[in-house]
Amino acid sequence: MRILEVKDLEIYKRLLRILGAYAKEAPAQGIERLLNSVVEQGKKALPKDKHALNILDEVLDEENPADTVQKLMNMRFANLPICCKPVAKLGRRCQCAYWNRGDYTSDRVKDLIDWSGTGKSGKWSEVDGSPVKLLDMSKEEK
């Protein structure tokens, strides 16, 4: 298992490469503005949460920047593979958790990244913003 500090730096560098390649391929799409925001903030733009980093690690595929940016901007947590889906148990049922940063709650992968540089750390929550604990859905290799 990789050390968390190394993993977030690796994800940050991959995010820069993907956004840079996409901004070069398709200028005037608004991605260059997001790239500049991430460059200014450094890796502080990434979440500190381990599960959120695993989601970004799963989504950020360097093979095709156009498809990767499409997934990053539009994918919802419910559409993620089960191994990295943020599932929380609420009473007797399980449901997909939301990402909450301050007063903003979202279920999109793009909102894991602090594009606007608010400096607020995010947390997993219900739709109303109350915190939840995630279930571990990862496979254990034997």
CA angle 119, 125, 127 (to 5 degrees): 110
Report d(CA 97, CA 124) in Å as an integer.
6
Report d(CA 137, CA 120) in Å as an integer.
27
Mean pLDDT over 5-15 rounds to: 82
Write out pLDDT tens, residues 13-28.
999 999 998 888 877 7
Residue 142: pLDDT band with limits 50, 70, 90: very low
pTM assigned to the model: 0.84
Write out pLDDT tens, residues 106-132.
999 999 998 887 778 889 999 888 889
